[in-house]
Chains A and B, each alone.
Chain A
Amino acid sequence: MSILVLTESENGKLKKNAFEVVSYAKALANHQNTTVTALAINCDEPGELGNFGADKVLNTTLTFPYFDALIYSEIATQAVKQEGSNLVIISSSANAKYMAGILAAKLDAGYVSNVVDLPVFGAHTTVKRMAFSNKAFSHTTLHANMNVLGLSTNAFGAAENQVNAQVIEFQPNIPDQTMTQIDVSQTTGKASIADADIVVSAGRGLKGPENWGIIEEMAEVLGAATACSKPVSDMGWRPHSEHVGQTGKPVATNLYFAIGISGAIQHLAGINASKIKVVINTDPEAPFFKAADYGIVGDAFDVVPRLTEKLKALQIGSV
């Protein structure tokens, strides 16, 4: 009854969240006296998963290089059946959330998203997850015999745990694709909000889209993703894909800079899962100061370029 973990790769390289889900599964497996089986699809170095505790890796290579939710969930279903697993761990990436519902239905499983901690075992197993768009947690009790847990990004972290992973070629029956990818646009060379360790986010305080150069420069120096508040995306200063908050993207990063963002309750909810928040705002009464760890009362146009110069000296983005 090995725990099955679905790992994600991009251009053959394992993603950071792959190590997080395997680390989480390993901690769980140690508690349950069982093993971890990881499923790797289109991955060049499946053995790397052993560094984080995968005892066995089922390795599959597909004829097409991109993610297909229906096919991936079918492969996962066959892996679960082969391994006799009753617990599946996935991440909180857009792809994982895309396939989660399909997979849970195929397995007739309970699905719990946005999990932030290891389950608590008892008469019934309970899992802590984020709810109300990060304004609260819920302790959710599992009633099904089969369960899928979606681990929140950055909630558990990756823990090295050297195991000699046994890599096995896995050859599932692949159904016909019902969907064709006809175009893809990927922001290359730049960290995405979902994967970045640091996010630099700015709001109306920047006064106009032409002023975003200082934000982009600071992000580049930090190897960070750029993000923005809702009004900024609504006014078309920045693309929707950068909008973070309750109706935009959730952010669960290590370090979040909020520059010229007042901190509306919806924005604070969306970024709440980030570990350290730094606010830079001219208005000392801005609600963001109540939600931040560190604050500077000051003008972004003065503070940000000076901060960028100092950060440059640390050479963070180049690591």
Chain B
Amino acid sequence: MKILVCISNVPDTTSKINFIENDTKFDKQGVQFVINPNDEFGLTRAIWFKEQQGATVDVMHVGRSDADPTLRKALAIGADKALRIDTDATDGFVVANQIANFVKENPYDLIIAGRESIDYNGGMVPGMMASVLGYAFVNTCVGLKIDGKEAVAVREMDGGSETLKTQLPLIIGAQKGLVEETDLKIPNMRGIMQARQKPFEVIAAKDINANTTVSKFEKPEPKAHVKLIAADDLDQLIDLLQNEAKVL
């Protein structure tokens, strides 16, 4: 089985978000970049398939060389090959179509992408790729079993889940639940050394125009001070919720 895991390079979840150049660019100063958490759940499941059922795992990123350390980390965790399409990932449409163009020439049985990146939260890449490639697609995937060409996937819905049966090739939108948090792998020294020997290909991008661009960022208004209510005066809390906030 050939698996492709799509990786976004995102600010660590603890990062403070600031903008520069008149609020048009994200301030990378002092920010640690990591594998997008939703992608990491997917990568961990891909490596499970490699170890338990036999598979090759390629990781793919659309972007510039500043993401290479993140891709090396994916190799150190256990991926076999890294691929980077060298262009600016202006929007999800560009990313999905760049990857889909590559996959048309280099087909995979299973493609895993996080359900969304935690920076731009576009949430469109896996579905767009599936539509362009004609692959089956399961989003917000929290369980996946593969037997030959048959796949059984569990999808988290609002207020429940459903189990879907389909055929490979398949694309899933990965998220927490696909593997447990404790299954996530931290690269060890041996993995890091091996990663240096693994193939790392930089691929020229096709000419694709973005459908959307970001013109400006904005930070939310700072919150007004919390109103403290004494623990023995719960009537005041209810009064405030009913008459001030008007939410009860």
Contacts and interface: CB of A to CB of B under 8 A. Distances in A.
Nearest to B209: A143
Contacts of B70: none
A279 B226 contact: yes
Interface of A: 66-67, 69-70, 73, 93-95, 97-102, 104-106, 109-114, 124, 126, 128, 130-133, 135-144, 147, 150, 178-187, 190-195, 197-198, 234, 240-241, 243, 246-248, 254-255, 265-266, 272, 275-276, 278-279, 289-299, 302-303, 306-307, 310-311, 314, 316
B161 A294 contact: no
Given A102-B130, A187-B159, A241-B161, A294 B241 contact: yes
28 contacts: A101-B128, A105-B127, A105-B131, A109-B211, A110-B93, A111-B212, A113-B121, A132-B26, A133-B118, A140-B214, A141-B212, A143-B211, A144-B212, A180-B164, A183-B163, A184-B160, A184-B163, A185-B160, A193-B158, A195-B159, A243-B176, A247-B176, A265-B14, A265-B16, A293-B224, A294-B241, A295-B228, A299-B231
Max chain B CB contacts within 10 Å: which of A73, A93, A147, A292?
A: A292
B33 interface: no
Given A94-B158, A95-B158, A185-B160, A136 B220 contact: yes
Given A139-B214, A316-B248, A131 B120 contact: yes
Contacts of B140: 94, 97-98
Given A111-B92, A314-B248, A294 B127 contact: no
A94 B213 contact: no
Contacts of B173: 98
Contacts of A137: 217-220
A110 B122 contact: no
A146 to B, nearest CB: 9
Contacts, number: 263
A145 to B, nearest CB: 10
B215 interface: yes
Nearest to B175: A247
A278 B217 contact: no
B210 interface: yes
A181 B164 CA distance: 5
A131 B161 contact: no
A135 B219 CA distance: 7
Given A94-B156, A95-B157, A139-B218, A247 B211 contact: no
Interface string B26-47: 1000000000011000000000
Given A110-B93, A275-B247, A295 B119 contact: no
A302 B231 contact: yes
B124 interface: yes
Contacts of A190: 159
B124 A104 contact: yes
Interface in B122-156: 122-132, 136-140, 142, 152, 155-156
B13 A278 contact: no
Nearest to A272: B220
B228 A141 contact: no
A22 to B, nearest CB: 19
Contacts of B164: 179-182
A303 B96 CA distance: 50
B7 to A, nearest CB: 16
Contact of B215 (A94, A141, A293): A141
Contacts of B123: 97, 100-101, 113, 150
B192 interface: no
Contacts of A97: 115, 123, 139-140
Contacts of A135: 17, 219-220
Given A102-B130, A179-B164, A266-B13, A306 B234 contact: yes
Given A140-B213, A141-B213, A310 B235 contact: yes
Interface in B147-187: 152, 155-167, 173, 175-177, 181-182
A139 B124 contact: no
B157 A131 contact: no
B239 to A, nearest CB: 11
A178 B226 contact: no
Given A94-B139, A101-B130, A296-B234, 17 more contacts: A94-B158, A97-B139, A98-B140, A101-B128, A109-B211, A110-B212, A141-B213, A141-B214, A143-B210, A143-B213, A178-B166, A184-B161, A241-B161, A265-B14, A272-B220, A289-B228, A307-B237
Contact of B13 (A95, A180, A247, A275): A247
Contacts of A247: 13, 37-38, 118, 175-176
A27 to B, nearest CB: 21
